[in-house]
Each structure stands twice: as structure tokens, then as C-alpha cells.
Amino acid sequence: MFTLSLVQKISIWVVPVLLAITVHEVTHGWVASRLGDKTALMLGRLTLNPLKHVDPVGTILIPGMLLLLQSGFIFGYAKPVPVDWRNLHHPKRDMAIVAIAGPLSNLAMGVCWALLIRVGAMLGEAGTALLYMGIAGIFINTILMVLNLLPLPPLDGGRVLTGLLPGPLAYKFSRIEPYGFFILIGLLVTGVLGLILWPLMGLVLAVLLPVSGLQPDEFMRVLKALM
């Protein structure tokens, strides 16, 4: 097992984490603009400039602390892109489409990072940094995709479920949203969140790793060293 300094680890993770959360939010805003709501566009949020999306706590503090503590689990979030459902052509349906777009962007980025790993492998030792960043990119995008798909408002999965439920049920379910963050923290602290996420992440990795050319044990060995 090789060892990396904290500075090396941060340099490997910073680009995958920033891209994962930035593209996720931009995709929400872009899809909303296509469906009638230009709020994010007018506020200058449809940009890949991370400074427009960085949340001091979710983008910097939480991922940094998790990496520093070697928790074996890294995630983060950006400032949510504003979406005004009243401007959408079909508000209930379109909100669900806007919501699912974020996790789908993470899946697409996971595929891109997997392909980058193949490029790094072809470059040999010169491509080691690309291989490490690719592994970090696959992992962070898998976490964000699966976490956001949980059917809990205000996560994307909760908004998708709200869009699919009949009107009265959708209204009752959406009232969970003010408590959703606290429910999520409770699941994290009790360890229940990990029990839910890891099997689902395994399914996504089973799709992405063959694209990367890495074996699961090799992926986990390098990932452990990066954490």
C-alpha cells in the first residue's frame, strides 16, 4: 500500500469534488431554463465557475474535514441553484425532471472519469495522477448520485417522488422538507445511511468500473490510499 501526504490527497480530490457539485447544480439550472424557468440563468448560475456555486460549509469545510479525519467517506454540496416552479411549463412534472437531471449528470461524469482512467493507464507512470483523479471522480460522483436519489426532500429523489405522487399525497410528502436535513444527519450518525448507500453504490460501481478497466479490488485499494 502506497502512502500520500495530505497535500497530495487534497490536490487529487479538489478537481473531482468541485466538478461533481458544480456540474450537478448547473445541470439543474440548465434543464430548468429549457423548461421555462430562467431564474438561474438571470442570476449568473449557469456557469462552471466554481466560485459561483461554492458553499463554505458544504463545498470546503465538510469534504476537507472528512478527508483530514480519514473517515473513508467523502461528500459535499454546493449552493442550490434557484428554481421557481411557477415559471415551469408543467410545474409538477418539470420539477421532477429538473431534480433527476442532477444525479444523471453525476452518472455521466462518472463515465467520463472512468474513461480518463483508461487514458491514464495507457500513459503508464506518467498517467498516475490521471488514474488517481479518475478513481476519486468515480467515487465522489457515485456518492452524490446515490445520496441525492434518496426519496427524502429536499434531496433530488424526494423532489422526483413528489412529482410522481398524486396531488394530495405529494403535498403531504413535501411537508417533510423542513426536517429532511435533520433526518439525513440522524441517518448518518446512527450508521443507517451507510447501510443504505453502500449497496446502492456497489450497483453503480459495477457499471462504471468495467468502463475504467479496473478490477473492484484494485479500485478499492487505491481509493483507500486516497482517503
Written as tens digits, the pLDDT of the chain (227 aa) is: 567 787 888 889 989 988 998 999 999 999 999 999 999 889 888 888 877 877 777 777 776 776 676 655 666 677 888 888 899 999 989 999 999 999 999 999 999 999 999 998 888 888 888 999 999 999 999 999 999 999 998 899 999 999 899 888 888 988 998 898 889 888 888 888 889 999 999 999 999 999 999 999 999 999 988 88
Q: Which residues contact 222 (CB under 8 A, 6 or more apart)?
A: 131, 132, 135
Q: Which residue has the cell 438561474?
A: 40
Cell of 60: 470546503
125 is catalytic: no
Backbone angles phi, psi at 152, to 5 degrees: -135, 110
> What angle in degrees, to the nearest 10, is found between the helix axes of 192-212 and 128-148?
140
- pLDDT given at position 38: 93
Q: What is the pLDDT of residue 70?
A: 62
Residue entry with cell 478537481: 15
Of 25, 125, 177, 218, which one is the catalytic site residue? 25
Of 5, 210, 8, nearest to 117 (Cα)? 210
pLDDT of residue 218: 92
Q: Are 216 and 209 in contact (CB under 8 A)?
A: yes
3-state DSSP call for residue 43?
coil
